[in-house]
Structure 1
Amino acid sequence: MVLELKGVSLKRNGKWILEDINWSIEAGEHWVLYGLNGAGKTALLNLLNAYYFPTTGRMKVLGKEFGTDPLAEHLRTRIGFVSSSLQQKFYPGDNAFEVVLSGSFASIGLYETPTDEMRQKAISLLKEMGCLDYANQTYHTLSQGERQRVLIARALMADPELLILDEPTSGLDFIAREQLLEVIENLVDKQNGPAIIYVTHRSDEVLPVFYKTLLLKKGRVFSSGYTTDLFKDEGLSDFFEIPVHVHWHEGRPVLSKKENITSRH
Structure 2
Amino acid sequence: MTPVLHADGVTVVRDGRPILEEVTLTVRPGEHWALLGANGAGKSTLLSLCGAVTHPTHGTVEVLGRRLGSVDLRELRAYVGHVNPRHPLRSPLRVRDVVLTGLTNSVEPLPRWRPTPEQEERAGRLIALLGLAHRKDARWPTLSQGERGRTLIARSLMPKPRLVLLDEPATGLDLAGRERLLDSLDTLRESHPELATVLVTHHLEELPAGTTHALLLRDGRALASGAVDDVLTSDQISKCFDHPVRLERRDGRWSVRARQRRASSPSWPSTFSRKDSTT
Normalised TM-score (structure 2): 0.89
Q: Give the root-mean-square deviation of aligned CA atoms.
A: 1.5
Counterpart check, 1:231 vs 2:232: yes
Partner in structure 2 of residue 72 of structure 1 = 73
* 1:233 alignment partner AA: S
Which of residues 59, 62, 71 in structure 2 aligns to 1:60? 62
Alpha-carbon distance change, 239 to 264 in structure 1, aligned in 2, over 3 angstroms: farther
Alpha-carbon distance change, 153 to 264 in structure 1, aligned in 2, over 3 angstroms: farther
Matches within 5 A, 1:106-117: 106-111=105-110, 112-117=113-118
Matches within 5 A, 1:66-145: 66-68=68-70, 70-86=71-87, 89-111=88-110, 112-145=113-146
Which of residues 9, 20, 30 in structure 1 aligns to 2:22? 20
SS in 1 for 2:103: coil
Deviations 1:153-180 (A, max 9, x none): 1001000110111111111111111111
Residues 12 and 56 in structure 2, CA contact (< 8 A), matched pair in contact too: yes
* 1:199 alignment partner AA: V
Counterpart check, 1:43 vs 2:52: no
* 1:171 alignment partner AA: G
Pairwise CA distance, 1:184: 0.7
Deviations 1:101-120 (A, max 9, x none): 11111111111111111111
Deviations 1:114-143 (A, max 9, x none): 111111111111111111222222112211
Q: Percent identity?
A: 36
Pairwise CA distance, 1:238: 2.1
Alpha-carbon distance change, 261 to 139 in structure 1, aligned in 2, over 3 angstroms: same
Residues 29 and 194 in structure 2, CA contact (< 8 A), matched pair in contact too: no
Residues 37 and 202 in structure 2, CA contact (< 8 A), matched pair in contact too: yes
SS in 1 for 2:86: helix
Residues 233 and 244 in structure 1, CA contact (< 8 A), matched pair in contact too: yes
SS in 2 for 1:209: coil
Pairwise CA distance, 1:5: 1.1
* 1:46 alignment partner AA: S
CA distance in 2 between counterparts of 1:183 and 1:4 reads: 26
Please identify, of 244-253 and 4-13, the stretch whose mean Cα deviation from structure 2 is larger.
244-253
CA distance in 2 between counterparts of 1:9 and 1:127 reads: 41
Partner in structure 2 of residue 10 of structure 1 = 12
CA distance in 2 between counterparts of 1:120 and 1:8 reads: 40
- Unaligned 5+ runs, structure 1: none
SS in 1 for 2:238: helix
Alpha-carbon distance change, 168 to 216 in structure 1, aligned in 2, over 3 angstroms: same
SS in 2 for 1:261: coil
Residues 33 and 216 in structure 1, CA contact (< 8 A), matched pair in contact too: yes
- Unaligned 5+ runs, structure 2: 267-279
Partner in structure 2 of residue 216 of structure 1 = 217
Pairwise CA distance, 1:262: 5.1
CA distance in 2 between counterparts of 1:164 and 1:264 reads: 50
Normalised TM-score (structure 1): 0.94
Aligned residues: 262
CA distance in 1 between counterparts of 2:69 and 2:156 reads: 26
SS in 1 for 2:61: strand
